[in-house]
Amino acid sequence: MKKTPTRLADGRELIYYDSTDSVVRDAVDPRPLERVATTSETRRDRLLGDTVAIASHRQGRTYHPPADQCPLCPSRGDRHTEIPAPDYEVAVFENRFPSLAGDKGRCEVVCFTSDHDASFADLTPAAARLVLDAWIDRTRELAQLPSVAQVFPFENRGEEIGVTLGHPHGQIYAYPFTTPRTALVLRSLAEHRAATGRNLFDDVLADERADGRRIVLEGEHWTAFVPFAAHWPYEVHLHPNRRVPDLLGLEEDAAAEFPGLYLELLRRFDRIFGEDQPPTPYISGWHQAPFAAPGREDFALHLELFTIRRTSGKLKFLAGSESGMGAFINDVPPEAAAARLREVASK
């Protein structure tokens, strides 16, 4: 992998990731951009104990532009985008409309491919591996920032999820705090360790592998399963079989096997509801240990993938119980979801 950092016209960082060392990235951003001004702040909820980011400047962010005005496509001719080059493999840049910035963290955009009409599932294993290497590199670099406590690479796919740019891309949020979800997991890990002397992630993975009913696919180094208490209609957790706290801990054998397994999972998601249905909307994200949190050594890196579509033409909306009280109700039994995901395996 070749990494080429540069700057956009307003000073934001842009990094190209290429699969060969011979590529030269010297295009200059010619746009007359002013420096990005943000109003990002974080506020702590004293009752719940969690943190909320307030970012009013995001109201003016780009919203569903036509394909010929996509800001994530390469720059060609007289049309200049966020990526000055006429083509690229993987590109990462600081978000122009960040939820977190400065001493409140950082937000980055990850463009998986220059092909506007593709999706992550269309990538070759080699291209998906380059994205994984970019995620690893960004985790390493963001970990060095004094304002960053936790790094979350993720992808939102589909208008139903709320995606406002159709180009295949994801984001990385580098939080200045431990996220509420991770704090709950760390609490459960500590309680399980105190009660049993064992690691909770290890026990969950061993129990799922022993039970087998919710296993979706298995490799030599990874296991994908629908969790016993899945919150979402179709939800899969992908764990390396050897526990590591974050992407930096992945061994080469696991990193090499990941692209094939992940691409298969994404392609199965697109077949859940039938070949005649539109692409399945989903959220996919890497859960990593906070860098300095107590209990970090017990945390297990894993990827969580889920869709809000519960059946053909119907979405699962977070209504009163879920939105108001955080108490989920799942319409699809996890065992049935796993069976369906095995059923639509690639031939």
- In terms of C-beta distances under 8 Å and separation of at least 24 residues, what long-range contacts does 176-180 make, across chains too? 176/42, 176/100, 176/103, 176/104, 176/105, 176/147, 176/148, 176/149, 177/42, 177/51, 177/149, 177/150, 178/149, 178/150, 178/290, 178/293, 179/150, 179/152, 180/48, 180/49, 180/50, 180/51
Distance of alpha carbon 195 from alpha carbon 260, whole angstroms: 38
Please, are residues 54 and 40 in contact by the beta-carbon 8 Å criterion?
yes
CB contact at 8 A, 172 and 124 = no
Asked if residue 26 lies in contact with residue 7, where contact means CB atoms within 8 angstroms, the answer is: no
- Say if strands 90-94 and 106-111 run parallel, antiparallel, or are unpaired: antiparallel
Q: Is 19 helix (H, G, I), strand (E, B) or coil?
A: coil
Query: If 0-12 CB within 10 Å is exposed, 13-18 middle and 19+ buried, where does residue 267 land?
Result: middle
Q: How far is CA 272 from the centre of its chain?
A: 21
- Exposure string of 83-92, with b = 16+ CB inside 10 Å and e = fewer, is bbbeebbbbb
Q: How far is CA 38 from CA 56, 107, 321, in A?
A: 8, 12, 34
Phi, psi (rounded to 5 degrees) for 257: -80, -25
Beta bridge partners of 322: none
For residue 224, the cross-strand partners are 217, 238
Active-site residue 169, yes or no? Answer: yes
Q: Quick one: tokens of 41?
A: 């702040």
Choice among 64, 116, 169, 192 that is catalytic: 169
Q: Are 233 and 310 in contact (CB under 8 A)?
A: yes
Q: Which residues are catalytic?
A: 169
